[in-house]
Structure 1
Amino acid sequence: MSRTPRLAVAVVTAAALVAGCSSSPSSDGEAPSYRASKDVQARVLPQLAANGEDVESADDALWVVDATIDGVDEGTTVTLLAKADRGEWEMVSDAETDEDGHVSLTSDTAGELVVVAGEDDDAIGTEVSTEDAPEPTFSDDFDEDSVDATGANWHTRDQGFTGVRTCSRADASAAEVADGVLVLSVLEDPEGGECQLPGRRKRFPQRLNGHVGTEGVYSFTYGYAAARIRTQSARGQHAAFWMQAVGGQQTGGPKVGGAEIDIMEYFGDDHPEGGLTSFTYFLDEAGKKQTVGGWLPDVEEYGDDWAEQYHVFSVEWTPTEYVFRIDGQVTQRLEGETSGRQEFLILSLLSSDYELPRFNGELPEQMEVDWARVWETGAEQG
């Protein structure tokens, strides 16, 4: 295919999908068709996009289409079309390719979808379907029995006054479900005293942390994990959605020993590094901790309203890479050997010792989780 400028296609007729011929726009809304091409590679991911202020069902999130267009300039517009209820093809989203020809698109319409780049004789594309997306294998919209109840998915983790959190401990009172939302808090410990960090004069009230996980209830290996989260705004604690290996990490690298997979951590508004991170940690053959990942550059590309709106944070986990996304947009791609162990989910709002001197809010601070889902795929996915 010849290189194309920033061009988009708005609508494709059903006849054009079959014939593959080209046409010009017409007054009745029909638009150029496309030529099926191997230069357009696309796959439908699960429903991984849903930013907004209101609580929504996980079933109402947008499907994400991951596409790569070979041989086009960076900034080429690619369009996603869906067949509406009345049988017409309508544009549902468009986006510009990155330097590798990659683009992420979204659809609120289930069924047949078409990815198109270019127009007239240069228009190329491919057809996909939401039916090709994996089905969820774990889903929690947080009803009243989601946390710390008999048969619940999530239980408060046994962590307190140790490690990097000598001034805080997890407690069930800091994790509650209300109106379909899991609310995780950092609270002042009513039974605690004051805590003084080494080398510092200032004392801090001991804190309770909302810290829950699915250990012993649910775990998986390879697939997609996502949670729709609205973070805290203040510094001094961090919201997190992460996973750990069942039974704890072991030496020998991630495939054998597992890994900690930090899908997202948010360290508060006005952070000098932007506030958002995605990391993985594992132990090498010598038992030394290895870290891959880091702070997300240019976080404003994905939003600047973390404490006002919900966003879907997700990871695609295969044997050869982790792909982190926010509302379907790729934020980091970490290639290489990944965890080969069963991993369980964790949601938390933690106040670590190193953060306390930077606390600029008022307790309680809160993180809200609308829903969490997993789509298991097996080792062949991706």
Structure 2
Amino acid sequence: MTRPSRALAFVAIGGALTITAACSGGGSDEEPPASESSSGVTASLLPPIAQAGADVASADDAEAVIAARTEPAEEGVELTLEQDAGSGWEEVGTAETNAAGTADFVVSGGTDASYRVSADGGAPSKVSGTWTLESGDEFDGDALDPAQWYHRGGEYNPEGLRACSKGSPDAVDVSGGALALRVQVDPDRAGESCEAKAADGKSLGRFPYRLNGHVASTKLFRYGVTAARIKFQPARGQHGSFWFQSQLAAANHEDAASGGAEIDVVEYFGRDDDDRLASFVYYPSPDGMAKEGDWIEEASRFLTDQDDDWYKRYHVFALEWTEDEYVVRIDGQEAWRTDKGVSQQPEFVVLSLLSSDYELPKLKGAPLPQTMSVDWVRHWSQG
């Protein structure tokens, strides 16, 4: 697939950044007007959520995405993206729909182009969508911004299967334009060991006490697109995460609409023969807590080349959250979608590198500290 020019207009409104797609018109005299849905495909603009690379980079330089969908959903449909070249419409990309009937185009380049998408040569549909950048952090200073973030999990937590680790500001650092979250030995308990246990109470051995980098946003979000550009830790024995959590007690509710949900946008469990990248949702139901999600299928297909890996380069992980569903994307490409456990409650963002007790036997002598780096975080609302 080719990477076409970006079809965006940027307008500052009250300190926020609004992103508006340029909608396709009739094109040249020989071209029919674009249709909203007569072709059986709709297309919408998403914010700049594609930016793979080895180094920190400005979030303003990320690439936007055009998300297209067939109605009804149909797998294997070839979609064509066209750009208005002035004298007519020029094909700039093709993609095949997945099982959900969707396909994504990464859009780079100019901000004044118009685009349209068609399915199997049918009538084209215009690209539309408006997003407002509500908040973001590029970690440009030398300390965590207390107006945006706070530290979590400051106590050893056997009930949460972290008897041997706790969150600490000492495992968090901001420098070089990135947030570093570490798993490291607790210096206050150096020389001591902790008995790690599985959920069934089985002993897993004794390990040094650890500190974890574990921070959450002070602001609450509901719906929109939230993205984080992350380079994960290499070793197993801990997992890096970008997730959402409700302030409500799930045990007091019977559904996600009223009680919220834990939305694990992405979790990475360290390098292995498998991809070790996952997305989950945990939510209240009449029968107790329910779980949806799994390992991301063939996650390595989202890597840039054979030398890339989740701990070698930064990748943008994004959640599109509507009233009806969650869509997880990696550098703009859809990785997972579900309409189960959709929260209707405001939630806060969590960034963490946690060494849960059940993971410790997997460390296998890997050196500490292990580090997860976050280049930037942004949230956009629609409209």
The TM-score range, normalised by the shorter chain, is 0.7 to 0.9
Match of 2:30 in 1: 21
Whether contact under 8 Å (1:116, 1:123) holds in the other structure is: no
Inter-partner Cα distance in structure 2 for 1:373 and 1:184: 18
Cα distance change, pair 201–234 in 1 and its aligned pair in 2 (3 A): closer
Structure 1: tracts of 5 or more residues without a match: 1-6, 23-32
Q: CA deviation at 1:179?
A: 1.1
Q: CA deviation at 1:202?
A: 3.4
2:38 equivalent to 1:38: yes
Match of 1:295 in 2: 295
Question: Structure 1 segments of 4 or more deviating over 6 A?
Answer: 86-90
1:128-147 mapped onto 2 (5 Å cutoff):
128=127, 132-144=129-141, 147=144
Q: Which amino acid in structure 2 is aligned with residue 173 of structure 1? A: D
Q: Secondary structure of 2:278's match?
A: strand
Deviations 1:321-355 (A, max 9, x none): 11111111111111145112110010000100010
Q: CA deviation at 1:116?
A: 3.8
Q: Which amino acid in structure 1 is aligned with residue 124 of structure 2? A: G
Q: Secondary structure of 2:163's match?
A: strand
Report the RMSD for the aligned CA atoms in angstroms: 3.1
Match of 2:176 in 1: 179
Inter-partner Cα distance in structure 2 for 1:173 and 1:66: 41
Q: Which amino acid in structure 2 is aligned with residue 326 of structure 1? A: I
Q: TM-score, normalised by structure 2?
A: 0.81
Cα distance change, pair 101–338 in 1 and its aligned pair in 2 (3 A): closer
1:145-160 mapped onto 2 (5 Å cutoff):
147=144, 149=145, 151-160=146-155
2:201 equivalent to 1:213: no
Cα distance change, pair 227–90 in 1 and its aligned pair in 2 (3 A): farther
Whether contact under 8 Å (2:27, 2:33) holds in the other structure is: no
Query: Which of the residues 356, 361, 376 maps onto 1:371?
Result: 376
Inter-partner Cα distance in structure 2 for 1:271 and 1:206: 28
Q: Name the % identity.
A: 39
Query: Which of the residues 160, 166, 170 maps onto 2:163?
Result: 166
Whether contact under 8 Å (2:204, 2:358) holds in the other structure is: no
Inter-partner Cα distance in structure 1 for 2:259 and 2:60: 34
Whether contact under 8 Å (1:80, 1:113) holds in the other structure is: no
Structure 2: tracts of 5 or more residues without a match: 6-23
Cα distance change, pair 146–253 in 1 and its aligned pair in 2 (3 A): farther
Cα distance change, pair 224–211 in 1 and its aligned pair in 2 (3 A): same
Deviations 1:109-144 (A, max 9, x none): 32333234479xx46423325xx3311111111122
Q: Which amino acid in structure 2 is aligned with residue 266 of structure 1? A: Y
Whether contact under 8 Å (2:248, 2:260) holds in the other structure is: no
Q: CA deviation at 1:94?
A: 3.6
Q: Secondary structure of 1:292's match?
A: strand
Q: Secondary structure of 1:160's match?
A: coil
Q: Which amino acid in structure 2 is aligned with residue 104 of structure 1? A: D
Match of 2:362 in 1: 358
Q: CA deviation at 1:307?
A: 0.7
| Higher relative strand content | 2
Deviations 1:156-182 (A, max 9, x none): 113331121110011101111111100
Q: Which amino acid in structure 2 is aligned with residue 177 of structure 1? A: V
Q: Secondary structure of 2:132's match?
A: coil
Inter-partner Cα distance in structure 2 for 1:248 and 1:67: 37
Deviations 1:192-212 (A, max 9, x none): 121122444732111110000
